[in-house]
Structure 1
């Protein structure tokens, strides 16, 4: 009796062998995308905190560093106008405080929208602020060379 050996085509087992590896690759890519999102959000939170620190230290130039060159705010306020407005506020107030509520961040690739409430206080340097106001704030951000820059800002006193 004659034995017949069946020869499997070479590609038949190769595809089966690669399916688990392909599945693992997809999981790693999905996890990596989640990590990048997390890293992007952490970097954005760091830069929002940096902007807050520049405001509290009354540094108008430091505030401007977080603004994109095409920044736009309420009533057509541009980047230089925002820097001048911050400098005026800092000149009028010996102390400046900012208390931000929780950040609601919506991240899309290299753009983000941040919504929160902010209490801004200012005064002559005594124990209590002379003035204070709460604002509902929405800001747009763009990732530029690894740093988040604010592209837009709108605020409203509720």
Structure 2
């Protein structure tokens, strides 16, 4: 009888671990947001562009090529780039599970040494599209 109880307990633990291993869309979305921030701070244009959807637009006028050129220019101009996210939140659209959103207040700094030479404060809204199992940035709007 003790062996049976042990087997049931082990099976319950195994089922819980399998449940934890399932893909969590919100966790994957949050990981994409963090990857976006890391790619900017590490000045990795290639990694950044992997996160940008081929139909990307920013403030309804700039496209994917603009994003690449702007990031490259910022990375060349500043030795250090930091993204400080304040009040950020991300969520999956309840009606369209292949769309996710992130909102944040961010401070974007560029520096050659310890002190920032450029500082910008923005309210940003990002729209993410789930494409081939990966979240990609499709829309970016800021104020």
TM over 0.5: yes
Residue 72 of structure 2 aligns to a residue in which SS? helix
Q: Is the Cα–Cα contact under 8 Å of residues 100 and 118 in structure 1 kept in the other structure? A: yes
Write the mapping of 1:1-158 to structure 2, written as runs, cut at 5 A.
39-74=24-59, 76-108=61-93, 109-124=97-112, 126-156=113-143
Q: Which structure has more RCO (C-alpha within 8 Å, separation ≥ 6)? A: 2
Q: Summarize deviations over 1:28-81 as a string: whole Å, max 9, x none.
A: xxxx9xx97x81110000011011111001112221110110000025111111
Please tell me whether Structure 1 or Structure 2 has the larger radius of gyration of its CA atoms: 1
Deviation of 1:131 after TM superposition, in Å, equals 1.3
Corresponding residue number in structure 2 for 1:12: none
- TM-score for both structures, normalised by structure 2: 0.78
Q: What is the count of residue pairs matched by the alignment? A: 121
Q: Is the Cα–Cα contact under 8 Å of residues 104 and 115 in structure 1 kept in the other structure? A: yes
Unaligned runs of 5+ in 2: 1-18
More strand by share: 2
CA distance in 1, matches of 2:28, 2:91: 14
Q: Provide the alpha-carbon RMSD of the alignment.
A: 1.8
Unaligned runs of 5+ in 1: 1-31
Residue 58 of structure 1 aligns to a residue in which SS? coil
- TM-score for both structures, normalised by structure 1: 0.71
CA distance in 2, matches of 1:103, 1:73: 19
